[in-house]
Amino acid sequence: MNQPIIQSSTRADEAFDCLQTAIVTGELAPGEKIGELELCSRFELTRGPLREALGRLESRGLLVRRPHAGVKVVSVSASELMELYRIREVMEGLAARQAAERMTDKEIRDLQATLDTHEKMIEEAKGQAYYQAEGDYDFHHRIATGSRNTKLAQMLLGDLYYMVRMYRYRLSTSAGRPHMALGEHRHIVEALARRDGELAEFLMKRHINAARQNIEEKIKEGVLTI
Amino acid sequence: MNQPIIQSSTRADEAFDCLQTAIVTGELAPGEKIGELELCSRFELTRGPLREALGRLESRGLLVRRPHAGVKVVSVSASELMELYRIREVMEGLAARQAAERMTDKEIRDLQATLDTHEKMIEEAKGQAYYQAEGDYDFHHRIATGSRNTKLAQMLLGDLYYMVRMYRYRLSTSAGRPHMALGEHRHIVEALARRDGELAEFLMKRHINAARQNIEEKIKEGVLTI
DNA sequence: CTTTTTCATTTTGTTGACAATCGCGAGATG
DNA sequence: CATCTCGCGATTGTCAACAAAATGAAAAAG
């Protein structure tokens, strides 16, 4: 019946996952031109499945490919990163509104429990930006799936988050404002618990907007360089 | 300049385009199981490029693929189609807001001229729902690109519109309310010309919401069956 | 000395054959 | 007679060789 899901059943899926994480973690730098044969030797696979994976990655916007000229990792400028946050703002706002209407009580309780865990992680491991970023990712992930909007979740989880995470790893500062973000998260969950979709949408949009402004400031200060 | 070259430079791109239009036009019905060899003979290409195209289509959500079991065209339920419109509402609202800030004066004038053309087409060819639908598509297309938000335009044009158009073809009724939609379009362009982003966003959201309710009603009446 | 053109190497795109896996039907058994 | 199992056929996944195109360097011309 249920087999260990860890093993991707096809080599192309395997390649896709490897490439995706390699891009997100920065193992493959943005703008870097990558040859197919090099990737083959690095990930121990042949060009057939690799090309299939490259096609998927390109379709998701993580790679750009010019015919006969090879593929290179997409390089997102600072302004484009800001545009990404604008998209997140409206899409996650919608997700929050629909999540308020559709998440089960148990899911909301679990989400609250998750926030407690996050709080402890922030207190205990100050500066451990990585885990804090993962906690933030987990929060938004749950709301996206909680919206019960298949396509919305697919677009958020499949496209936008990977791009944002890509820069999270690189900038390492992550949100940079753990306690503030946690408070905003709690506020949003409260709205969810009250089934107040409008408020949840408003708070989520403000939350993401704040994160965007935070990054924008740091970029202007020169603390972050993209 | 960039001339929209019809001939895709690579066979995989060709296959991708063919498959995509075949799915959108209903030549390949939703839920239909399709064999690779069958597709190869139908579109005159070999399995390598085909598989690459299938991967891209799957990544875009137009196909679902189970390992070793073949691919089938995605079938979207009525409720999922409604969810698609919810996403369009927020994303195109954002697009309209940014377009109001960023479109050139010439682009806006061209858009107004396009609406004049649409008006004539509606008057002359009553019932020619197809062209009217294409006009509507053109309108939204221009605003999406006019937002100057690369990723936003990519998501709208690459993902959502193809899914919506897929059902436009199938339902054939298109928006079903040509004159009303045209008036709303004019209203939106006015907001763009005044550089009133907030108003443009509001009007666009209301416009798409109206289209959604229109379809929803017809589905409830049993006029449309999905 | 700069620019252009040509050519060779490298890399991508494509092809057809090979291997693994699944679905389905026939047969056997309770 | 129903159900379970086994095996065959068909389809998908994978591989390695072939062909085409582009990048880069070297040479020739202005």
Q: How far apart are CA B182 and CA A130, in angstroms?
A: 50
Paired tokens of B205: 């959201």
Per-residue pLDDT averaged across A210-214, rounded? 91
pLDDT tier, A214 (very low <50, low <70, confident <90, very high otherwise): confident
Paired tokens of A98: 């629909």
Q: How far apart are CA B226 and CA B222, in angstroms?
A: 10
- The bases of strand D with some atom under 7 A from any protein CB are 11-17, 21-23
State the amino acid at position A169 in one-letter form: Y
Q: What is the pLDDT of residues B171-218, one digit of tens each?
A: 655 445 766 788 999 999 999 999 999 999 999 999 999 999 988 888
Q: What is the pLDDT of residues A81-101, one digit of tens each?
A: 999 999 999 999 999 999 999
Contacts of B9 in chain A (CB under 8 A): 67-68
**Using the CB atom, is residue A52 less than 7 Å from strand C?**
no
Percent of chain A with pLDDT over 90: 58
> Which secondary-structure segment (H or E) carries A70?
strand A70-73
Q: How far apart are CA B151 and CA A6, in angstroms?
A: 31
User: Does B84 contact chain A (CB < 8 Å)?
Assistant: yes
Q: How far apart are CA B171 and CA B156, in angstroms?
A: 21
Q: Which nucleotide is nearest to A12 (CA to C1')?
A: D13
Q: How far apart are CA B57 and CA B55, in angstroms?
A: 5
Q: Chain A: residue nearest B149 by CA?
A: A83
Contact across the interface for B151 and A84, Cβ inside 8 Å: yes
User: Does A51 contact chain B (CB < 8 Å)?
Assistant: yes
**Using the CB atom, is residue A46 less than 7 Å from strand C?**
no
Contact across the interface for A56 and B58, Cβ inside 8 Å: yes
pTM over 0.85: yes
